[in-house]
């Protein structure tokens, strides 16, 4: 399976585009946990929502976002992005949204140009992050953007953040694919002079998991054939490694199905979680799973809810 790197977009560009409406006719699949959502500033020219009288673009985008969660019966969502936006979304819907924060950044900004942290730095301040985690406001790290920053997942600068996540037993969600590259159409004019797609290889996390064997790691976008192979090897050795279903709305379904079938056939169907990624694509993601004839009804239900509940330790 040969995958063109430009189509597997870092989830942040979904927020930048704000223009993919998905399927308006899809029906809820039952209670859903969406493990791959994104926060960002509002877009006054969005095709997905319109501002009401007295609303800012930020207000309108958040209102529409919450209505999409309602429409598709999303009971819980993990929402990452710029720290201030992720926290703003979480504070607006604290019973349903868990906030994360994306890094490392490039020139203080995400690939779509949004400022990552008020400080303008590429990395979150560790003391601040610890405080946010201990206060229950930041509940996972991610989506980590090592590919775009050209920073190895094993770079020494990453280690204090992993250690903090392990100490507080919060998940780490990583971009585990090679693309899209900086010059692709979805990159909004290009970015990231140190881009390195090889840093998306899931197997790079093996030494980290050897050091922190209980760390909960979520692989996002793992659809490239060779990366699926490496992901399965990692999952064979580490039971806390899970994989999400993204990017279901931006690639041919046969590619998604090939990835999901390989992971299921390898005995890891109980570690696949639903991730919509792009704004407006929850319904499309449900359609993709519903039409996967190699999955049983029980397996689909597990992808929609049960596997994520297990990963997130919701039984606590």
Structural domains in the chain, sorted by start: 9-20+29-311 (3.20.20.140)
Encoding tokens for residue 256? 């998604």
Pairing mode, if any, of strands 97-99 and 141-144?
unpaired
Q: Please, are residues 220 and 174 in contact by the beta-carbon 8 Å criterion?
A: yes
Distance, in Å, from the CA atom of 163 to the CA atom of 24, rounded to the nearest integer, reads 42
SS3 174: strand
Nearest Cα residue to 154 out of 118, 189, 204: 204
Distance, in Å, from the CA atom of 122 to the CA atom of 52, rounded to the nearest integer, reads 35
On the question of a cis peptide bond just before residue 234, with omega within 30 degrees of 0, the verdict is: no
Q: How many other C-beta atoms can be found within 10 angstroms of the C-beta atom of residue 32? A: 23
Half-sphere exposure in the Cβ direction for 209 (13 Å, CA): 21
**Which pTM was predicted?**
0.90
Q: If you count DSSP H runs as helices and E runs as strands, how many of each does the chain have, helices first?
A: 12, 8
Residues 6+ apart with CB under 8 A from 241: 202, 205, 209, 217, 219, 231, 234, 235, 271
Q: Please, are residues 197 and 178 in contact by the beta-carbon 8 Å criterion?
A: yes
Instruction: From first to last of the 316 residues of the chain, give the pLDDT tens digit.
Output: 333 333 344 333 433 334 434 444 456 678 999 999 999 999 999 999 999 999 999 999 999 999 999 999 999 999 999 999 999 999 999 999 999 999 999 999 988 888 999 999 999 999 999 999 999 999 999 999 999 999 999 999 999 999 999 999 999 999 999 877 666 655 555 688 899 999 999 999 999 999 999 999 999 999 999 999 999 999 999 999 999 999 898 889 999 999 999 999 999 999 999 999 989 999 999 999 999 999 999 999 999 999 999 999 997 5
Nearest Cα residue to 143 out of 38, 243, 1, 281: 38
Q: How many other C-beta atoms can be found within 10 angstroms of the C-beta atom of residue 64? A: 17
Residues 6+ apart with CB under 8 A from 217: 171, 172, 174, 205, 209, 238, 240, 241, 242
Distance, in Å, from the CA atom of 85 to the CA atom of 131, rounded to the nearest integer, reads 17
Nearest Cα residue to 289 out of 307, 308, 275: 275
């Amino acid at each position: 399976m040969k995958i063109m790197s430009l189509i597997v977009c870092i989830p942040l560009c979904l927020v930048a585009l704000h223009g993919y409406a998905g399927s308006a006719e899809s029906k809820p699949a039952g209670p859903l946990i969406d493990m791959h959502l994104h926060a960002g500033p509002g877009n006054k020219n969005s095709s997905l929502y319109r501002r009401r009288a007295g609303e800012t673009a930020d207000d309108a985008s958040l209102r529409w976002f919450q209505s999409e969660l309602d429409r598709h019966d999303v009971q819980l969502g993990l929402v990452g992005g710029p720290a201030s936006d992720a926290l703003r979304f979480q504070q607006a819907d604290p019973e349903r949204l868990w906030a994360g924060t994306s890094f490392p950044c490039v020139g203080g900004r995400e690939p779509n140009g949004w400022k990552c942290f008020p400080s303008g730095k590429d990395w979150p301040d560790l003391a601040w992050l610890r405080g946010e985690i201990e206060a229950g406001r930041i509940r996972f790290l991610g989506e980590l953007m090592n590919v775009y920053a050209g920073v190895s997942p094993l770079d020494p600068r990453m280690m204090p953040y992993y250690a903090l996540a392990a100490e507080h037993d919060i998940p780490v969600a990583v971009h585990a694919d090679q693309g899209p590259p900086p010059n692709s159409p979805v990159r909004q004019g290009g970015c990231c002079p140190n881009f390195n797609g090889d840093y998306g290889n899931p197997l790079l996390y093996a030494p980290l998991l050897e050091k922190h064997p209980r760390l909960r790691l979520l692989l996002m976008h793992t659809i490239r054939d060779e990366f699926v192979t490496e992901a399965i090897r990692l999952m064979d050795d580490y039971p806390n490694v899970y994989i999400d279903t993204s990017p279901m709305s931006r690639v041919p379904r046969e590619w998604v199905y090939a990835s999901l079938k390989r992971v299921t056939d390898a005995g890891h169907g109980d570690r696949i979680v639903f991730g919509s990624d792009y704004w407006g694509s929850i319904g499309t993601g449900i359609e993709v799973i519903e039409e996967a004839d190699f999955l049983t009804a029980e397996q689909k239900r597990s992808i929609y809810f049960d596997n994520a509940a297990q990963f997130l330790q919701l039984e606590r």
